[in-house]
Amino acid sequence: MRLHLASRNAKKIGELNRILGPLLPGLDVVGLDDVATYAEPVEDGSTFADNALIKARAGFAATGLPTVADDSGLCVDALNGMPGVLSARWAGPPRSDTRNNALVLAQLEDVADERRGAGFACAIAYVDSDREIVVSGEMRGTIRRAITGEGGFGYDPMFEPAEAPGRTSAELTPAEKDAISHRGHALRALAEALRTV
């Protein structure tokens, strides 16, 4: 099965291959850089699911390939669930993980440790000629007071998963992160949905 992932993020493509590959043998994942260029849609949905569907529908319409798209982000309890769908552009243009992390840490500077709860949320949409599937996943944890670790991407260096106490997501191996991450949960749910439809 040839599957288009509507993303240029090499780390997301790697995650999708690692997680879905063993569950859906014969899967061939291609990213945006592997297909003819098309106008990428504006992600103006109010939820992660809205944005994932916008991207998946556009990818399928442009390529004719079954398309998967995700939208995910960090939802901080003390910030009323923000940055949420604005996670990638929280600190404004140009997009920068470093600036986004610094802004969240500054916004939480005076927040007590017991109130630094947060969660990564992910919605994944799949679109082909016959169906649209949307699945979701979450990973709960807390926001550290400093950046730690070299792995992962986005907000990983300041997020300590509840299921991996003492380490940030950026300090986990890819296999450890895949087992507990919001995207890992959502991708396993997608694989199950694709096998049963």
Helix H, strand E, coil C: the string for 53-81 is: HHHHHHHHHHHCCCEEEEEEEEEEHHHCC
Q: What angle do CA 24, 2, 13 make, to 5 degrees?
A: 75
User: Tokens for 69?
Assistant: 């798209």
- Residues in contact with 71: Cβ distance below 8 Å, sequence separation at least 6, in sequence order: 43, 45, 48, 49, 50, 51, 52, 55, 85, 122, 123
| Binding site, annotated residues | 7-12, 71-72, 153-156, 177, 182-183
- Answer for the pair 108, 116: CB distance below 8 angstroms, yes or no: yes
**Residues that constitute the known binding site for substrate:** 7-12, 72, 153-156, 177, 182-183
Instruction: Supply 147's token pair.
Output: 């950046």
User: Catalytic site residue 77?
Assistant: no
Residue tagged active-site, from 70, 71, 128, 178: 71
Q: Alpha-carbon torsion 140, 146, 151, 153, what sign?
A: positive
**Binding annotation for Mg(2+):** 71
Please list the active-site residues. Answer: 71
